Each structure stands twice: as structure tokens, then as C-alpha cells.
Amino acid sequence: MSGYEDKVLEYKKEYNLNKLEYIVTGGKTQPQSISNCIDRLNGVLSDDDIIVVHAGNRPLVQNRLIDESISMCKEKGNAVAYIECPEVLFTKDTNEVVKRENIMRLQTPQTFKYADMKEAYNFAKKIDFEGIASTADLMHLINKKLNFYKGSEYNIKITFREDLEIFKNLLNK
């Protein structure tokens, strides 16, 4: 998506958004958009700098999640938010029960060192981003050990029409 850059720069000036440094055109998918950002930051960041990836369709992220993500990344090298899975799960193909105790539902923020992000997204380009759902998924593909921290049920992902209704109800709470 391109063509919006001038409007964003107008907003930057109008609302005094001093933290806005770069505008990067997104890709066709979320991983491609993140890859474009990683490429743009080449020569700007050092390998130990931290990148926080957050999905725009999770508008209720809490400061605690961002702070915890950055803190864990500084200490352990990366951090991925998760929530428990209370539902009963069955596989579609074999109709077997999946133990929910073994399941984590991943969220953003997901936080990584710049060096790992470069490595991961260079790999993603080689496989044409095939089958990559998130940065955590990609890190797993290149055998990086992931560190998880407790996310929040309020950090909802707006994907379906019903999610928008839940979001509106949470805002009016």
C-alpha cells in the first residue's frame, strides 16, 4: 500500500508526532510488511537493538505487555506474548482431542533483537514468505528458542465482524 505518505506527514505535523521517523510501505502480507521495515532499518540500528512487533488489529494492548516484552527481550533475547487456551480442541483431519494444557495462543507484542530479525526475514525471503504467520513462527522455523510471557485476554485481535462488537463493548466498559 502506498500513496498515503503525504497524509501521514500532515498528521505528524498537525498532531506534533515527534517520534515518527520513517514511513515504510507495507507488503501484501504482515510478514512482508515487517520485512520491508527490517530492510529500511539496515544501517540505522545495531544488532543488539530491540524491535517490538505489534499487530495494528490488536488496539487494546496494555503498557504492561509492552514493558514486559522489552524487559524480557533485554534479559533473554526475545519475548512473545501468549494466553492460555480454555477451549476444547479437536483436529479437523483426524478428529482427535488436543490437550489444551499444551496449547498457547500467541499474541503481539513480539519482541526481538535486530540481528535475529534480519536473519529471520532474510530466510523468509528465500522461501518467499510461504507459510509464515508471525515473527514467532518464523523464529521457530530458523530454530531460535522463544521466550514467552503472559499476555492478556483484553489484547483482542479484531479479525471478524464479531470481534469488532466485542471491541466496542470493551471500550464502553
- Three-state DSSP at 94 gives coil
Kind and range of the H or E run holding 138: helix 135-141
Domain ranges of the chain: 5-171
**Mean pLDDT of the 123-147 span:** 95
First and final C-alpha spacing in the chain: 34
Q: Which CATH architecture has domain 5-171?
A: Alpha-Beta Complex (3.90)
Asked whether the predicted pLDDT for residue 2 surpasses 70, the reply is no
Asked whether the predicted pLDDT for residue 3 surpasses 80, the reply is no
- Chain centroid to Cα 97, Å, comes to 28
Query: Residues for the chain: how many in total?
Result: 173
Asked whether the predicted pLDDT for residue 146 surpasses 90, the reply is yes
- Model pLDDT for residues 79-128, shown as the tens digit of each residue: 999 999 999 999 999 999 999 999 999 999 999 999 999 999 999 999 99
- Model pLDDT for residues 50-81, shown as the tens digit of each residue: 999 999 999 999 999 999 999 999 999 999 99
pLDDT on residue 5: 85
- Model pLDDT for residues 10-58, shown as the tens digit of each residue: 999 999 999 888 999 889 999 999 999 999 999 999 999 999 999 999 9
Asked whether the predicted pLDDT for residue 145 surpasses 60, the reply is yes
**Mean pLDDT of the 132-146 span:** 96
- Three-state DSSP at 44 gives coil
pLDDT on residue 62: 96
Task: Give yes or no for a contact between 148 and 76, defined as CB atoms under 8 angstroms apart.
Answer: no
